[in-house]
Amino acid sequence: HILILDFGSQVTQLIARRVREAHVYCEVHPCDVSDDWLRAYARDHALKGIILSGSHASVYEVDDRAPDAVWALGLPVLGICYGMQTMAQQLGGQVQGSNSREFGYAEVRAHGHTKLLDGLQDFATPEGHGMLKVWMSHGDKVTALPPGFRLMASTPSCPIAGMADEARGYYGVQFHPEVTHTQQGKALLERFVLGICGARPDWIMQGHVEEAVAKIRDQVGDEEVILGLSGGVDSSVAAALIHRAIGDQLTCVFVDHGLLRLNEGDMVMAMFEGQLHARVIRVDASDLFLGQLAGVTDPEQKRKIIGGLFVDVFKAEAAKLKAGSGGHKGATFLAQGTIYPDVIESGGAKSKKAVTIKSHHNVGGLPEQLGLKLLEPLRDLFKDEVRELGVALDLPHDMVYRHPFPGPGLGVRILGEVKKDYADLLRRADAIFIEELRAHIDPASGKSWYDLTSQAFTVFLPVKSVGVMGDGRTYDYVVALRAVQTSDFMTADWAELPYALLKKVSSRIINEVRGINRVTYDVSSKPPATIEWE
Ligand code: XMP
């Protein structure tokens, strides 16, 4: 077990992901935990080491420091960026503020033979010095080493870019090993957690199933659970896991708002009811949703209507299940597919206020309103881990590795007013696009274009354009194809799909979907565009 203390950097989560990728379990907690909390945590979790994250602030703007107990536990500590600066300051070194920031690519020279960096290099200088290609982002810097430390790394503009006190297992790096631009970053973090801390690489999803199942059984006992199944990765994996643990004590509620992809409702039912033999209640609410959306064109208003109705419909079903009937005594738990990034973000001590670009569809607050206890079996897991867990639970690969789909569904992919006819056209066009993405294999990587993109879909544009088909004139609708590549969905690049693929998709859509006579490709990145069109 490794503890990451979060000083508020944008990339703290990435530290945790890299550590987990080394198969070591770790958790992120705010930097201002108390000494008592930390001592108890270290004892209860067989703590092996601590990582202090970076911060968006300067040591001179904020007085965040690591709890004193960090230095009294006798455990290895790695400070990253601000984490290194606070380490230096707290242990008797010096940090100097600066008005200029060093930001981006840098080449760092390694010094001495530390356990952390020795032999780790991207290239060597003619004089034989080992060099690392790294990513830096800082203004302040350490200007005097604390007693007991020696120099571990430097750059021309940052003479102390790394420091080490190997007797105590304390290391500081001014650059960010957690971002992929730091080429040896993953290796560095692995060395720290496996080599220096001696943590065991035993965090694997295959082995986690039994533990997770036991935990759910323990928490739920003989009570009953409701889960809102959407067909997305998180709710599907949560459902499969809970079903494995408690079988028929789980009831899934699947609300079909009429804005799902082609055949999606049937596929979800076939999987969960047909194959897993789970209890699933399918609520066909498409008339209700489409009725309320009639005449509404404003994107935010559409989102609010869909989100609000979803909660109403789900609540009505949940109330029935809570009351119990026919051999079921009534549910007392509501299960949700909350995952670790949601937990860190909402609990983060440093979370900043942001403007609302789009009001996201979510069901926070439902358990209290319904008077149900909360069951969140995925709340310790990152998305990649949820997927691995899904595979370990025998869910089909295509379901587990599917692209994300927004809660409001096709409602935000039909621009302006949502109509059933539009949704039907869009579903068919979108299915063709996805089918072709899966069928086209990139020779260089051997992967399909579906796997090479992070999200891909079709958008319905309610405008008509003139075309010609055979001898006749057509006057039909337009669709846009959207395919993006991103690692965090905060920024995204449009995917450079092969022309042959675009050509095939376009000709199939126009030939097979009567009512669409023009296909366009969206070449906007995020920012300034967003991934969805509404
Ligand atoms: P944007 O369009 O904001 O989308 O660039 C970023 C990611 O979020 C997804 N998205 C949603 N997901 N409920 C969701 O669960 C929503 O209301 C919602 N709106 C957007 C979008 O598909 C993309 O992956």
> Residues 224, 229, 234, 236: what is their CA dihedral angle, to the nearest 10 degrees?
90
Half-sphere exposure of 26 (CA within 13 A, CB side): 32
pLDDT at site 350: 43
Pocket test for ligand 1, best of 339, 358, 362, 533 (most atoms within 8 A of CB): 358
Partner residues linked to 493 by β-bridges: 485
pLDDT at site 100: 73
Ligand 1 within 6 A of CB of 143? no
Tell which atom from ligand 1 comes closest to the C-alpha of 404: 24
pLDDT at site 351: 41
Pocket test for ligand 1, best of 345, 413, 531 (most atoms within 8 A of CB): 531
pLDDT at site 347: 57
Count other Cβ atoms within 10 Å, centred on residue 302: 21
**What DSSP state is assigned to residue 69?**
G
Write the single-letter amino acid at 525. Answer: S
pLDDT at site 353: 40
Q: Are 325 and 271 in contact (CB under 8 A)?
A: no
Using alpha carbons, list the distances in angstroms from residue 382 to 17, 306, 492, 508. 7, 27, 20, 37
Q: Is domain 205-400 given the CATH code 3.30.540.10 in the classification?
A: no
Low-confidence ranges of the chain (pLDDT < 50): 349-354
Tell which atom from ligand 1 comes closest to the C-alpha of 307: 17
- Length of the chain (residues): 534
Ligand 1 within 6 A of CB of 406? yes
Q: Are 190 and 199 in contact (CB under 8 A)?
A: no
Q: Where are the alpha helices (DSSP H) in 142-279?
A: 185-190, 205-220, 233-246, 264-269
| Nearest residue to 2 via CA among 11, 10, 23 | 23
Q: Is 210 a catalytic residue?
A: no
User: Which residue in this structure is represented by tokens 């990139």?
Assistant: 442
- Bridge-based pairing of strands 49-52 and 373-375 is unpaired
Q: Is 178 a catalytic residue?
A: yes
User: Do the two domains 2-196 and 205-400 of this chain adopt the same fold?
Assistant: yes
From atom 24 of ligand 1, which residue's Cα is the shortest distance away? Answer: 404
The rounded Å distance from CA 490 to ligand 1 centre is: 10
CA-to-CA distance for 459 and 328, rounded, in angstroms? Answer: 43
Pocket test for ligand 1, best of 362, 410, 532 (most atoms within 8 A of CB): 532
Ligand 1 within 6 A of CB of 531? yes
Ligand 1 within 6 A of CB of 489? yes
> Residues 341, 189, 197, 81: what is their CA dihedral angle, to the nearest 10 degrees?
-80
Among 31, 158, 166, 178, the active-site one is 178
Query: What string of H, E and C letters represents the secondary structure of 12-52?
Result: HHHHHHHHHHCCCCEEEEECCCCHHHHHHHHHHCCCCEEEE
- Return the CATH class of domain 2-196: alpha beta
- Return the CATH class of domain 419-521: alpha beta
CA-to-CA distance for 477 and 470, rounded, in angstroms? Answer: 18
Ligand 1 within 6 A of CB of 302? no
| Residues near 301 by beta carbon (within 8 Å), at least 6 away in sequence | none
Q: Are 158 and 102 in contact (CB under 8 A)?
A: yes
Ligand 1 within 6 A of CB of 358? yes
Q: How many helices (H) and strands (E) does the chain have?
A: 16, 21
Partner residues linked to 173 by β-bridges: 80, 162
The rounded Å distance from CA 406 to ligand 1 centre is: 5
| Nearest residue to 280 via CA among 327, 319, 322, 248 | 248
From atom 12 of ligand 1, which residue's Cα is the shortest distance away? Answer: 406
Among 1, 138, 176, 440, the active-site one is 176
- What global pTM score does this model have? 0.88
Ligand 1 within 6 A of CB of 482? no
Which pLDDT tens digit goes with each residue over 343-360?
887 655 444 444 667 676
Count other Cβ atoms within 10 Å, centred on residue 357: 8
From atom 11 of ligand 1, which residue's Cα is the shortest distance away? Answer: 406
DSSP 106-162: EEEEE-S--TTTTT--SEE-TT--EEEEEEEEES-EEEEPPTT-EEEEEETTEEEEE
Q: C-alpha angle 194/196/202, rounded to 5°?
A: 20
Asked if the peptide bond before residue 528 counts as cis, ω within 30 degrees of 0, the response is: yes
| Nearest residue to 362 via CA among 283, 303, 288 | 303
CA-to-CA distance for 241 and 218, rounded, in angstroms? Answer: 14
pLDDT at site 341: 85
Ligand 1 within 6 A of CB of 407? yes
CA-to-CA distance for 86 and 68, rounded, in angstroms? Answer: 11
The rounded Å distance from CA 532 to ligand 1 centre is: 7
Ligand 1 within 6 A of CB of 230? no
Among 26, 31, 81, 197, the active-site one is 81
Q: Is 26 a catalytic residue?
A: no
CA-to-CA distance for 226 and 254, rounded, in angstroms? Answer: 11
Q: Where are the domains of the chain?
A: 2-196, 205-400, 419-521
